[in-house]
Amino acid sequence: MRIAIIGSGGREHSICQKIYESKNVEKIFCIPGNGGTYKIANNIEIKLNDFDKIKSFLITEKIDLTIVGPEEPLVNGIVDYLSQNDLKVFGPDKFCSRLEGSKIFTKKICEIENIPTAKFKIFSDQTKCLKYLESCNFPIVVKADGLAAGKGVYICENLSDSENAVREVFNGKFGKAREILIEEFLTGEEMSFFILYDNETFKVFNTAQDHKRVFEGDKGKNTGGMGAYCPSRLSTSKLEKKIIDKIIKPTLNFLKRKKGKYIGFLYAGLMIKNEEPFLIEYNVRMGDPECQTILPLLQNDFVDVVKNCVDGNLANIELSWKKGKSICIVLTSKGYPEKFEKNVLINNLENLKINNQQFIFHAGTKFNDNKFYSNGGRVLNFVSIDENLEIARDDSINLIKKLNWKNGHHRNDIGYRVIGKK
Ligand code: AMP
Ligand code: GLY
């Protein structure tokens, strides 16, 4: 098969690698890809909002299957657009993608379907919202409704922080805000829960826990993700049943009733408290860096899985997973998620020796004149698999030490809730 992957992050490189390992693949294109995908696929420079150009490319190249990695094109309706042009696409339609594109849409589904989630209120009037805050107990969570690259969520410790957050959102920091969401602050432990869905049948696609804060001990600013491990330590069959019955099934039933078409991964961000799951948010794609830690554990031929999913035959697939545990440590540019330098040479990368239980997935890199350069905040993902998570973590850290990239920053404590700090 001829396969295209849309996106340029670590998630897309890990998808590309899995496809590269398939027996059913003839040629792979990445739009636009990164320095890592350059080595195993054909990178094609097209802007992700240029649906027309993407469509023309896929038709000219006779692409059999297109996998959409990131949320933005999904929320903007790329799947509807390409499907109307008779292209096979792995990803949910525009209606279903509102699960991620509008936090308020998801909250309303929770209300209708009685899905456990943080208590909330929606305001369209700034003055009324500010007045309401005066009656709240803190901390409280203020959220912009739309996509905000992970930045539209404010955990507010006091009244004045929450007032500032509400003003920022209504002043248009994340685009025009018609409505705002104020949420109860949930305590507990977070878990990322994934399913694969062909609009009829779903399969649980493993669990993970990511670490979003930039510094060790979960301190500092929120990032796109500094590392993750799989499976989540919270994962039990009893909890999985509750998540499916109370959260996943009611959501899928709602989408079905509304005639949405959901093909692809669905990622539930959950808070687990006293073994009870609460939905924090939905993402309509794989997580990043969760994807990089989960996919290497999959034993199936990934092309086979995706093709069956797109064709509505997921019921025919039995997913099987390697026995070990997996960890992904992200190497970022120093200064990320604030100011950082780009275009810094990464020496030595191709000299690193890795075994067949290890992967180095690129994110913000590019390949120029036979050399790798940094090209973003999150630069590389070091993934190791082992029966023992602590050994896996040591393996990834040792690789980062060997690389010895002077512009790099990483956390040594990924997975600390299971294996302690280093
Ligand atoms: P989101 O962009 O919705 O994933 O939110 C980013 C992060 O904010 C989540 O991963 C949680 O750590 C935190 N968060 C969001 N909503 C809540 C909530 N209601 N209570 C506690 N933490 C939250
Ligand atoms: N790991 C968080 C995300 O992909 O949104």
Q: Is 210 in the pocket of ligand 2 (CB under 6 A)?
A: yes
- Give me the pLDDT at residue 420, please: 75
Residue of 75, 155, 187 to test ligand 1 pocket, by largest number of atoms within 8 Å of CB: 155
Nearest ligand to residue 287 Cα: 2
Q: Is 76 left (phi over 0), alpha (psi -120 to 50) or beta?
A: alpha
Return d(Cα 377, Cα 333) in angstroms, integer.
Answer: 5
Q: Is 183 in the pocket of ligand 1 (CB under 6 A)?
A: yes
User: What separation in Å is there between the alpha carbon of 219 and the centre of ligand 1?
Assistant: 15
User: What separation in Å is there between the alpha carbon of 18 and the centre of ligand 2?
Assistant: 20
For 255-296, write each residue's pLDDT tens digit.
Answer: 999 999 999 999 999 999 999 999 999 999 999 999 999 999
Share of the chain above pLDDT 70, in %: 99
Of 196, 371, 368, 402, nearest to 295 (Cα)?
196
Nearest ligand to residue 291 Cα: 2
- Residue located via tokens 């990089």: 292
Atom of ligand 2 nearest to the CA of 11: 4
Is the pLDDT score of 102 beyond 90?
yes
Question: By 3-state DSSP, what share of the chain in percent is helix, strand and coil, each rounded to 5?
Answer: 35, 30, 35
Name the residue with the closest Cα to ligand 1, atom 2. Answer: 150
For 364-397, write each residue's pLDDT tens digit.
Answer: 999 999 999 999 999 999 999 999 999 999 999 9
Is the pLDDT score of 337 beyond 90?
yes
Per-residue pLDDT, averaged over 307-332, amounts to: 97
184 in helix, strand or coil? strand
Instruction: List Cβ neighbours of 52 (8 Å cut-off, separation of 6 or more).
Output: none
Return d(Cα 139, Cα 119) in angstroms, integer.
Answer: 13
User: What separation in Å is there between the alpha carbon of 145 and the centre of ligand 1?
Assistant: 13
Return d(Cα 384, Cα 326) in angstroms, integer.
Answer: 6
- Give me the pLDDT at residue 422, please: 66
Nearest ligand to residue 225 Cα: 2
Which domains does the chain carry?
2-93 (3.40.50.20), 119-184 (3.30.1490.20), 189-316 (3.30.470.20), 325-409 (3.90.600.10)
Q: Is 283 in the pocket of ligand 2 (CB under 6 A)?
A: yes
For 224-260, write each residue's pLDDT tens digit.
Answer: 999 999 999 999 999 999 999 999 999 999 999 999 9
For 189-236, write each residue's pLDDT tens digit.
Answer: 999 999 999 999 999 999 999 999 999 999 998 899 999 999 999 999
Residue of 136, 162, 213, 281 to test ligand 1 pocket, by largest number of atoms within 8 Å of CB: 281
Q: Is 153 in the pocket of ligand 1 (CB under 6 A)?
A: yes
Residue of 11, 210, 328 to test ligand 2 pocket, by largest number of atoms within 8 Å of CB: 210
pTM beyond 0.85: the answer is yes
Residue 281, φ and ψ in degrees, nearest 5 = -165, 160
Is the pLDDT score of 6 beyond 90?
yes
Q: Is 118 in the pocket of ligand 1 (CB under 6 A)?
A: yes
CB 55, CB 87: distance < 8 Å: yes
Name the residue with the closest Cα to ligand 1, atom 6. Answer: 153
Return d(Cα 155, Cα 271) in angstroms, integer.
Answer: 15
User: Is residue 173 very low, low, confident or very high in pLDDT (cuts 50, 70, 90)?
Assistant: confident
